[in-house]
Chains A and B, each alone.
Chain A
C-alpha cells in the first residue's frame, strides 16, 4: 500500500475549473465518505483550498478518481513523489505567493476534517502532522516566508520598523482608496486604534469612519491632525499635490519632529515627493512599496533550493519511518511469544522462591529477554526499512515458529 495523490492546482487548471472541483464544509465530508466507501481505499484526505484540490489516498488497486476533470489538468503522484509534493505544499513552495503562511493551517484543517470523517489511518495520521512540521521547519530554517508579500503588508512592516510596537499609534486616512481597507485591517491587527478619516466629501468620510470605528475630520483640519498622527495613508483623487514640502515642513515643526510615516497610494500622488527629504518624514509611494514586495519575493525565490533540500530529506525520513513501522506487528509478535515463555518458566520457579529471590529472578529474566531480543528487533526494523514487506517478515517468524495469524492486520500499511 502506498500514498497516492490526485489533484489539480493553480498551475494546471484555471479558476473556472478549480471552483467546480473545490470541496468545503459538508461537501468535503460527503466526498471523504464516498471515497472511504471504495473497496480499495484504506485511508483518505482531501486538501481543498482556493488554489488547489488534492485527494490523498492510501489503499490497494486502482482507485477510481473522485476528481472529474480533463486529464491534462490533473497530476497524479505515488509514494515518494506524493509525499514530497505534500511537503512542498505545506512549505509554501507550491503556493501562488511563494512561502505564504495560510497553506499551513489549510493542511492542518484538511487533516482535521479527514480525522472527523474517520478516514485517516496509520499512514495519513503520520503524513499530515509530518507535513505541518516540515512546513514549520522550512519557515524557521530558511527565509522562504520572510518579508511582506503584498503592498499592504509591506506598508505595515515598514510602519513597524519605524515605530516598533504599533499599539497606541495614531493613523489617518486621507481619501478612501481601494487598498485602504486591507491595510486598515492589517494595521488594526497590529494594534493601531485611533483612526482619523478625512475626505473631500464629508459624507464619505463619515461613512468610512463609521466602518473602521474612527473619527471623521474636516479636510480643512488636515494640518492640525497631521501634527498628531504617526501614520498617514493618502489615496485621494486630487489632480495635484495635496501636501507640499513647505506645508509639511511647518507641520513637522508643530509635531516637534516626531517621525511621520506617509504612505501615498494615490494616483496622481497626494504628497510632493520632496516631502520625503524632510527630517523624520518617511514617504513611500505605491511604486516604492511594490519594489519592496518584489525584493522580498525574489529573496524568497533564492530560498527555494534550501527548502527543496528540507522537503527531500524529510520525505526520505518519513518513508523510512513508515517502513520501520511496518515491522511493529512482527516485533510485537516476537516479543509477546518470548514474554509468554518467560512467564511460564517464571511460574515454575517462583513457587519455590522467597519474595526477595522472586524479585531478583523476575528482574534477571526480563533483562535477559531484552538483551536476547534486542538484535532480532533491530534486524526486523532494518529489514522493514530496506523494503522487506510485512508478509516476508511474517514468513521469517513462521520459520522460527513464532507466528500469529493477525500479524498482517496489525501492520500499519
Chain B
C-alpha cells in the first residue's frame, strides 16, 4: 500500500507539473512545447497505472471502493482518454484543463487514502462492473465537458473579435463540438451499463427515494435531451454545448450526492 501511495504521489506531482507547463504555454501563447508537457503527462499516467496496480494488489481488490479510490481511477481514465484522443484529434490544448483536473482528483484521492484506507471491500463482480462502467463513462463525460468549456472560451473570443494570442492555440469550434458529441456517444452507453448493473445488484428494484438515484436519472435525461437535439434535431453550437455543461454539472452532483444504498 505504501509503495502504491508513493507512486500515486509521483503521479500527482507529474500532473501538477504538466498543469503548470500547459498554463505557462497558454500564457506565453506558444505551442512548440506542448509535447514536453504531454510527455510529462504520459510519465505521470504510467506512474498512476503502476500505483493503481500496486494498490489493487495490496488491497486485494480493484480500487473502486469508496469515493477516494473511484476518484483516483476516474482521474486515470480522464488522462488516458486525453492522451489518446487529444493526440488523434490534435487537441493538445485540452491538457490545460485535463491536467489540473487530474491533479485535483488524484490529490484528493491520495489525501483520503493515506488517512483512511478503504474498508470492507465488496466481493461482488456486479459491483466492480457497476462502478467501473460508471467511471469509464464519467471519464468520457468529464473530457466532453472540457471540450464544451473550451468551446465557450473560443466563442467568447470570436464574438469579442480577439482572434489572436490564445485563440490560435484553440481547435476550431467544429472540432470541439464534434469531439464533445463523440465522447457523449461513447460515455452514454457506459452510463446505461452502470445503471443496469446497479439494478441487477438491487434485484431490479429502483429506489426512487435515493437522492443519488434521482440525480442519476436527471443526468440520463439531460444527456438524452442532448443526444436527441444533436441526432434528431441536427442542432449544433452554443445551446447544445450549454446543455452539455448542465449535464456535466448533473454528473458532478450525482457523484457527490449521498445515497442510502451507495458507499459514496
Genuine A/B complex: yes
Contacts from A to B (Cβ < 8 Å): 141, 143, 146-147, 158, 160-165, 256-259, 276, 279-280, 282, 284, 288, 291-292, 295-296, 299
| Known contacts A141-B32, A160-B172, A259-B237, then 17 further A-B pairs from the complex at CB < 8 Å, ordered by chain A residue | A147-B164, A158-B163, A161-B154, A161-B167, A161-B170, A161-B173, A162-B172, A162-B173, A162-B174, A163-B172, A256-B233, A257-B236, A257-B238, A258-B234, A259-B174, A291-B161, A299-B164
**Judging by beta carbons under 8 Å apart, are A295 and B164 in contact?**
yes
**Judging by beta carbons under 8 Å apart, are B168 and A282 in contact?**
no
* Given A161-B173, A259-B173; A292-B163 close (CB under 8 Å): yes
Contacts of B172 in A (CB 8 A): 160-164
Q: Name the 10 nearest CB pairs between A and B, nearest first.
A: A164-B172, A280-B237, A164-B174, A295-B164, A164-B175, A258-B236, A163-B174, A279-B238, A256-B234, A162-B173
**Judging by beta carbons under 8 Å apart, are B164 and A292 in contact?**
yes
- Asked if B182 is at the interface (CB within 8 A of a chain A CB), the reply is no
Q: Which residue of A lies closest to B238 (CB)?
A: A279
- Asked if B57 is at the interface (CB within 8 A of a chain A CB), the reply is no
B47 to chain A, nearest CB (A): 32
**Judging by beta carbons under 8 Å apart, are A280 and B236 in contact?**
yes
* Given A162-B172, A162-B174; A259-B236 close (CB under 8 Å): yes
**Judging by beta carbons under 8 Å apart, are A282 and B158 in contact?**
yes
Contacts of A164 in B (CB 8 A): 171-175
Q: Which B residues from 217 to 236 make CB contacts under 8 A with A?
A: 233-236
Q: Which residue of A lies closest to B237 (CB)?
A: A280
Contacts of B238 in A (CB 8 A): 257, 279-280
**Judging by beta carbons under 8 Å apart, are A256 and B236 in contact?**
yes
Ordered by A's residue number, 6 sampled pairs between the chains whose C-beta atoms are within 8 Å are: A161-B154, A164-B172, A164-B174, A258-B234, A276-B159, A292-B161
- Asked if B260 is at the interface (CB within 8 A of a chain A CB), the reply is no
Q: Which residue of B lies closest to A277 (CB)?
A: B159
Q: Mark B158-190, 1 if CB is under 8 A from A, else 0.
A: 110101100110111111000000000000000
Contacts of A141 in B (CB 8 A): 32
Q: State the CA gap A162–B175 with chains docked (Å).
A: 9
Q: Which residue of B lies closest to A158 (CB)?
A: B163
- Asked if B239 is at the interface (CB within 8 A of a chain A CB), the reply is yes
Q: Which B residues from 89 to 144 make CB contacts under 8 A with A?
A: none
Q: State the CA gap A259–B155 with chains docked (Å).
A: 11
Q: State the CA gap A270–B30 with chains docked (Å).
A: 37
**Judging by beta carbons under 8 Å apart, are B161 and A257 in contact?**
no
**Judging by beta carbons under 8 Å apart, are A257 and B168 in contact?**
no
Contacts of A276 in B (CB 8 A): 159
**Judging by beta carbons under 8 Å apart, are A288 and B161 in contact?**
yes
**Judging by beta carbons under 8 Å apart, are B237 and A161 in contact?**
no
Contacts of A162 in B (CB 8 A): 158, 172-174
A255 to chain B, nearest CB (A): 9
Among B171, B175, B237: residue with most chain A CB under 10 A? B237
CB contact between B159 and one of A165, A282, A295 (< 8 Å): that residue? A282
Contacts of A160 in B (CB 8 A): 172
Contacts of A257 in B (CB 8 A): 235-239
Q: State the CA gap A158–B159 with chains docked (Å).
A: 12
Contacts of B32 in A (CB 8 A): 141
Q: State the CA gap A284–B158 with chains docked (Å).
A: 9
Q: Which residue of B lies closest to A298 (CB)?
A: B164
B32 to chain A, nearest CB (A): 8
A378 to chain B, nearest CB (A): 35
Contacts of A292 in B (CB 8 A): 161, 163-164
Q: State the CA gap A143–B31 with chains docked (Å).
A: 11
Q: State the CA gap A84–B167 with chains docked (Å).
A: 34
Contacts of B174 in A (CB 8 A): 162-165, 259
Q: State the CA gap A146–B32 with chains docked (Å).
A: 13
B86 to chain A, nearest CB (A): 16
Among B168, B175, B238: residue with most chain A CB under 10 A? B168
Q: Which residue of A lies closest to B157 (CB)?
A: A161
Contacts of A284 in B (CB 8 A): 161
Contacts of B168 in A (CB 8 A): 146-147
A134 to chain B, nearest CB (A): 18
Contacts of A147 in B (CB 8 A): 164, 168
Q: State the CA gap A279–B158 with chains docked (Å).
A: 12
Q: Which residue of B lies closest to A294 (CB)?
A: B164
A220 to chain B, nearest CB (A): 26
Contacts of A279 in B (CB 8 A): 237-239
Contacts of B237 in A (CB 8 A): 257-259, 279-280
Q: State the CA gap A392–B45 with chains docked (Å).
A: 61
B71 to chain A, nearest CB (A): 34
**Judging by beta carbons under 8 Å apart, are A161 and B163 in contact?**
yes
Q: State the CA gap A165–B233 with chains docked (Å).
A: 23
Q: Which residue of A lies closest to B178 (CB)?
A: A164
A327 to chain B, nearest CB (A): 37
A365 to chain B, nearest CB (A): 49
Contacts of B159 in A (CB 8 A): 276, 282
Contacts of B163 in A (CB 8 A): 158, 161, 292
Q: State the CA gap A296–B29 with chains docked (Å).
A: 13
B219 to chain A, nearest CB (A): 24
Among B161, B168, B175: residue with most chain A CB under 10 A? B161
Q: State the CA gap A141–B31 with chains docked (Å).
A: 11
A16 to chain B, nearest CB (A): 37
Contacts of B234 in A (CB 8 A): 256, 258
Among A161, A257, A259, A296: residue with most chain B CB under 10 A? A161
Q: State the CA gap A231–B238 with chains docked (Å).
A: 18
* Given A257-B235, A279-B238; A296-B173 close (CB under 8 Å): no
* Given A162-B173, A162-B174, A164-B172; A256-B164 close (CB under 8 Å): no
Q: State the CA gap A163–B176 with chains docked (Å).
A: 10
Q: State the CA gap A295–B164 with chains docked (Å).
A: 7
Q: Which residue of B lies closest to A292 (CB)?
A: B163
A410 to chain B, nearest CB (A): 43
